[in-house]
Each structure stands twice: as structure tokens, then as C-alpha cells.
Structure 1
């Protein structure tokens, strides 16, 4: 299996959030012509016998397969039900996946939290992009939610080589959506301009320098993806605020993890942490 054939993994646990994540994953797998792997991790801490746990997992996965086939009829998903801690299992499976898609909270999540601990841990440590799908509303009738009118892909980048993986993922995602715009956001301040050796006291000059840096870091990809309309947005101030606002109407917000989550645990950068915990739509966290 080549890297271009690695599956989209959808994590399901029977919660509303995971059903919406499954819908998103199925549509994305169909757009990218990738296989879909539906995973239900059977928690080690549950006080049920092996036979009962497996039977419950089989029923949940069977329903998830039926749901995914309603969303994307051409898919032939496979399933997996490992016995493990949820985040640990997903991080392990991510080594052989194109992306992992999770709901913002699972069955055990507190309603006061916008993102659950398993989703946060997976996004912090997985070796592939992790998409966290926020709750888009009620699905009491259990029908797959139809995709809305969201069109833009929004990517937050730093003006250096650390954004390469973010831009690769964002452009590839926008290219699968006909008519989608790619908004590339870069936050700058006078302090960041000083650290980069740029203007310190002239705001207009610093803004021009940030715009040039953004153009340089994104150069070359437009030729590879001529069908993608690109809008570059150097923002004076908080990039995370712009990304959170944009996430309410975007098809996807894409951010870089930037810190070593593999060894340090929850190693998200401040921008990634803020965007992920406050976003109003799906967010992709890309290792970089």
C-alpha cells in the first residue's frame, strides 16, 4: 500500500459527535478516492466480559458501515475493534493512515468542554493529520447530516519552513472541492517582525514585510494546484482569533501542531490549542 492509498480512519463510539465525524470522514475518503477504515476502540476500563464487549462493538460497527454507505455509496469500508485506550490505539493506527477523523467529544465527554481528552491527545500525538469535527447540531433521527454551504479551506501558517506540511495538506484538501477557496492566514506583530530581523517601528513597512514573507512561503504551490483560488491574509495580531472566526463558515480549518507531541504528550502550539478548543467547525491538526 502506498502513501496515496493509506486509509482515512473514522473513530466511532456511538456518540452524536462520532457519527458526525464518520459522515465527514466518509465524504473525505470519497473525495480523495481513499479507503475508509472505521475504528471502535473497546476501552480497557469497561467492566464487561470479552464476549459482550465484542458483540456490542460488532453492532456499533455494523451500524457505522450502513451509515457511511448512505453518505458515500461507492465506499466499501473496513472495520476494526481493538481493545485498548482510545487515544493510544488511534495514535498507533495513525502510523498507517492518511488522516484520522474524530468527534470533538465522545460518550464520556463533559458537555461543558468543547473538546474531549481523547480527541485532544490524538491530535497532539498522531503522526498523520487529525481532523476534529465539532458538533453541528442534533441528529436525533440518526440520518447522516448533509454537507452545508461551507466552501473555504482556511489554513494558519507561520512565515517559515514549518508550514510546509500545513500548506501541502490545505492545498490538497482544497483541490478536492470544486470552487473552494483557500484562505492562508499568517498572524504577525511588531515583536515578531523584530525577531525576524524586519522593521521594528514602522507598522506599514512591517505589514509589507509580512505580506512578502507569506507570498514566499506559499510560492510554487499555485502552479501545482491551478484550480485552487488562493487568498493570502497577513493579519496584524492573533492568527488564532481569525481562524476561530473563519471556522464558523469554513469547510475546514488547517493548523500545524508545531511542537513535539509524540514525546511530550499534549504538545500543541498556542495557536493550535486555541483554534482547536474554540473552533466552530472541523479542524485539521497537521504534524509539522
Structure 2
């Protein structure tokens, strides 16, 4: 199996958030021409409970029916491992193109913006993980309309993480009419740290824009059909990305490899974005 054949994995547990994740995963699989693997991780506490097995089978059957109604003909398979959810999804991510999870599951507190399993999976998976937020604070609210086709990617002006850029360009290319918005929050302090202007805010803004232009130049030639918009914004990087996520089909952030065994893969900016975003967020290992 080549990288182009690796499935899109959707983690489901029967919660409203996991059904939203499934719907998003179905759309992603169709856009990229990939198979779909629906995974329901059975809790270890149900090791000897036949009822738990039946419940899992019923849940997966419901998921397959939902996927087939949305995308008839989409190759779909299921899996029900017995494990901790984040551990199982992290293991399966070695042979996946993308793992898609809801922002919260059945076991989460309603006041939390993101569940521990979703956060752990995003921190440790070996492939990109999409955490699906709908921008809702309550399950009874109207679902966020998919009215924004653009893809937002957050990068540091001196970032060389090619995996993040590749994923973002491919995501934009797979969405007709989508622009790719490169959002970079800068401050005079970050300009100083990167060796740029320290006292001239206008010069610092120009330096940030030039750095973004250099960062995107090569891939603009590879993806000539993708319109690129550079948005250097003075202010907190995390706040800038969270704000931008409200008008994006997908927000993309990077995650440094290393520290995964301790769940420390997410930077403060990535963590804030994943936790508070108002739309789906893709976390890409670099």
C-alpha cells in the first residue's frame, strides 16, 4: 500500500462530535480519492462484556450507513480495537493518511473545549490529525455552516517545516475555489528574536511579509491553481489563528516531533489553536 492509498481514519464513539468528525472524514476521503476506515475503540473495562461487543457492532454499522448515504461507493471498512482511544488511534496512524476526531467525546465534560483523547491523539499521532470543531458551544445549537472554503495555515516566518506547507497546499488544491491564507502573528519581540527590526514596526511588518513570500515561493509554482494570500498580523500568533479559524474550512498548524511519549508534541500556539479554534484544525507532524 502506497502513501496515496492510506485511508482516512474517523474515530467514532456515538457522540455528536464524533458524528461531525465522521462527516468531515467522509468529505476528506472523497476529495482525496482515499478509502475510509471507521474506528470505534472499545474500552478495556468491557473486555468480557458481550453487550459491549454488540454495542460496538451496532455503532459501526450506523457509521457505515451514514457514510454510504453521504458518499455512495466510497470504500469503507471498520475496526473495533480493545484499547485506550488515544493509544489505538496513535498506533493506527502509522498506516493512515489522516486521523479525524471530534473535539470532545462521550466521556468529556461539557465545559471543556477539547477532550483528553482528542488532544492526546493530536499530540502523538504519526500522521496529520484533524480535530473537528463546529464553532458550537452546545450540541443543541445550529451546526456551523460550511460557508468558508479557504484554508488557513499558521507558520512562523522562519519556519522550514515542509510537511505543514505540503499538507496546506494539498488541502487548498482539493477544495475548488479555496484560497490558501498564510497567517503569521508577529510582535516586535518576535521580530527581535528572528533577527529582524526591533524598533521600527513598519519595517518589521515588511520583513514578516517578505519572509512569508520566500516561504511560499517554491510551492506556488508547484500549485499554480492555488491562490495564496499572505496575512502578517501584528499580535499574538495563537489569538490571530483562533480568530482566522472562524472563517476557514480548515486551519493548519505544525507539531514538532519529539516528546510524543510524554504528550508534549504541541507548541503553545498549536495547543491554543487546537483548543479554542472555531472550525476544524489539522495538526501536522514536522
Q: How does the TM-score come out when normalised to structure 1?
A: 0.93
- Shift of residue 161, structure 1, vs aligned partner: 4.1
Q: Write out per-residue CA displacement over residues 94-122 of structure 1, whole angstroms, 9 at most, x where no aligned residue.
A: 01100100000000010000100000000
CA distance in 2, matches of 1:50, 1:81: 14
Structure 1: runs of 5+ lacking an equivalent = none
Map 1:106-121 to 2 at 5 A: 106-121=105-120
User: 1:62/1:279 Cα in 2 relative to 1: closer, same or farther (>3 Å)?
Assistant: same
Q: Which residue of 1 aligns with 2:164?
A: 166
Q: Which residue of 1 aligns with 2:99?
A: 100
CA distance in 1, matches of 2:45, 2:263: 21
- Shift of residue 263, structure 1, vs aligned partner: 3.0
Structure 2: runs of 5+ lacking an equivalent = none
- Shift of residue 223, structure 1, vs aligned partner: 1.2
Q: Which residue of 1 aligns with 2:285?
A: 287
Q: Which residue of 2 aligns with 1:230?
A: 228
User: 1:51/1:45 Cα in 2 relative to 1: closer, same or farther (>3 Å)?
Assistant: closer
- Shift of residue 187, structure 1, vs aligned partner: 1.8
User: 1:55/1:152 Cα in 2 relative to 1: closer, same or farther (>3 Å)?
Assistant: same
Q: Which residue of 2 aligns with 1:90?
A: 89
- Shift of residue 146, structure 1, vs aligned partner: 9.5
Q: How does the TM-score come out when normalised to structure 2?
A: 0.94
Q: Which residue of 2 aligns with 1:32?
A: 32
Regions of 4+ moved over 3 Å: 135-140
Q: Which residue of 2 aligns with 1:184?
A: 182
- Shift of residue 40, structure 1, vs aligned partner: 0.3
CA distance in 2, matches of 1:112, 1:71: 31
Aligned to 1:177, the other structure's residue is in SS state coil
Q: Which residue of 1 aligns with 2:13?
A: 13
Q: Write out per-residue CA displacement over residues 102-145 of structure 1, whole angstroms, 9 at most, x where no aligned residue.
A: 000000010000100000000000011000011465888xxxx7
User: 1:75/1:136 Cα in 2 relative to 1: closer, same or farther (>3 Å)?
Assistant: farther
Q: Which residue of 2 aligns with 1:75?
A: 74
Q: Which residue of 1 aligns with 2:56?
A: 57
